[in-house]
Amino acid sequence: MNVVVQRRLNLLVDLVRRWPKYSLAIRGMSKMSDEVVASVSGSCGVITLNKPAKLNALNLTMVEAVKKHLVEFEKDETVSTILVKSNSPKAFCAGGDVQRVTESAKNKGTYHRDFFFNEYVMNFMIATCSKPYIALIHGITMGGGVGLSVHGKFRVATETSLFAMPETAIGLFPDVGGGHFLSRLPGSLGMYLALTGQRLKGYDLIHAGIATHFILSSKLPLLETDISNLKKSEDVSKSLKHVLDAHQQHSISDMENTPNFTINDKLAMISDVFGQSSIETVFQKLKADQSEWSKKTLSTMQKFSPRSLKLTHKQLKKGIDLDIADNLNMEYRLAVGCCEYDNDFIEGVRALLVDKDHSPKWSASSVDQVEDSFIETFFGPVDHELDVFAEKVKLWAS
């Protein structure tokens, strides 16, 4: 661990230890902010996403609410664990409200910057939470939903889980810390998921290292009860892991077979193709191979924004050497660039989500036409830079 990271962690730990006892005004009862509900159940602080009609797609109000409740629960000495879940059987969180974001970018507003700024601070708060954070990622978990879950200590998948980072299809990039966690998946799997938007289902998330546990959705209510009943201890993480392990064992014993990784036979090819040093070489490898998998993968990627593909490849190459804070700070620069430096993000959302003609007109027709110098501008400084660490300290001090 480098000196900067250690200094950051020491400051956060000191803040936690010195903060006076904090209690929620209403314990055991929900506090509503419309789209996010917070409550305390036993020793567990619970955050429930409550926007089922939109599959819990995040907006700025929801992000601010989650941040607020995270601070409340971390300060509350009677809360030992923090759990985030959805009230929708279809989705944990299907992403962010990108239509609102691109409308702001198109009209030269400020919402897009405010949204990404605060969302990435929220992601950092989850990654550095002083208490065990558990995400129940059943149903659709994409984009912003990944950021709400993957940085937590425990991520619980179910047979309904559907995971993807499909941002290159709309002219964005896999943000919410994607440069950090995707770049660390084994065998270039993260680069593959980032560039193709490939979906993983259920037990795949265990094989990929994205989920820490797999529990059947029918057993989640009992799991929540057992988490709430955990007694405060010196090592609550160990006790919590024991509970999660037990529920996982029971779930797997109720299944006929433990599922294999659905892309297991493609892992060697993924490692070879997506481990290349440039996006241009990735395309060359796919074109040279005449397998059905390569042809299908190539066809998929050729539909996506060439600028986004090139930007994403560079993002993950840089991300492997950055800690979570520096990754998120970098991604804020990239998000500002995608909103303000070209039209691909606005066009991608229009074509796929607004008009739904599925015929985006990208700024370039192939990755070969995207200049390296143009991509480099996305990584340069912006006015009002984000420092996620400093923003978390401000929240704690407020």
For residue 15, what pLDDT is reported? Answer: 54
Of 148, 128, 151, 131, nearest to 140 by C-alpha is 148
Check whether 8 has a pLDDT greater than 60: yes
Of 117, 177, 141, nearest to 49 by C-alpha is 141
For residue 328, what pLDDT is reported? Answer: 98
Q: Give the confidence band of 28 by pLDDT, cuts at 50, 70, 90.
A: very low
Q: Read off the amino acid at residue 301.
A: M
Q: Give the confidence band of 18 by pLDDT, cuts at 50, 70, 90.
A: very low
Q: Mind listing the pLDDT tens digit for each residue in 64-106? A: 999 999 999 999 999 999 999 999 999 999 999 999 999 999 9
Tokens of 171: 């002219």
Tokens of 365: 């027709």
Q: Mind listing the pLDDT tens digit for each residue in 233-291? A: 779 999 999 999 999 999 999 988 889 999 999 999 999 999 999 999 999 999 999 89
Output the CA–CA distances (angstroms, integers) from residue 366 to 78, 198, 270, in the order listed.
Answer: 55, 20, 21
**How far is the C-alpha of 267 from the C-alpha of 220, rounded, in Å?**
31
Would you call 258 exposed, middle or buried from its count of C-beta atoms within 10 A (0-12, 13-18, 19+)? exposed
Q: Give the confidence band of 23 by pLDDT, cuts at 50, 70, 90.
A: very low
- For the annotated catalytic residues, the residue numbers are 96, 144, 167, 175
Q: Read off the amino acid at residue 179.
A: G
Q: Mind listing the pLDDT tens digit for each residue in 348-382? A: 999 999 999 999 999 999 999 999 999 999 999 99
Check whether 1 has a pLDDT greater than 70: no
Q: Mind listing the pLDDT tens digit for each residue in 105-147? A: 999 999 999 999 999 999 999 999 999 999 999 999 999 999 9
For residue 232, what pLDDT is reported? Answer: 80
182 vs 25 pLDDT, higher one: 182
Of 120, 124, 105, nearest to 60 by C-alpha is 120
What length does the chain have?
A: 398
Name every residue whose Cβ is closer than 8 Å to that of residue 362 and which is 6 or more positions away in sequence. 171, 305, 306, 307, 344, 347, 348
Check whether 25 has a pLDDT greater than 60: no
The whole-number average pLDDT for the span 177-195 is 98
Domains, the chain, in order of start with CATH, read: 19-397 (3.90.226.10)
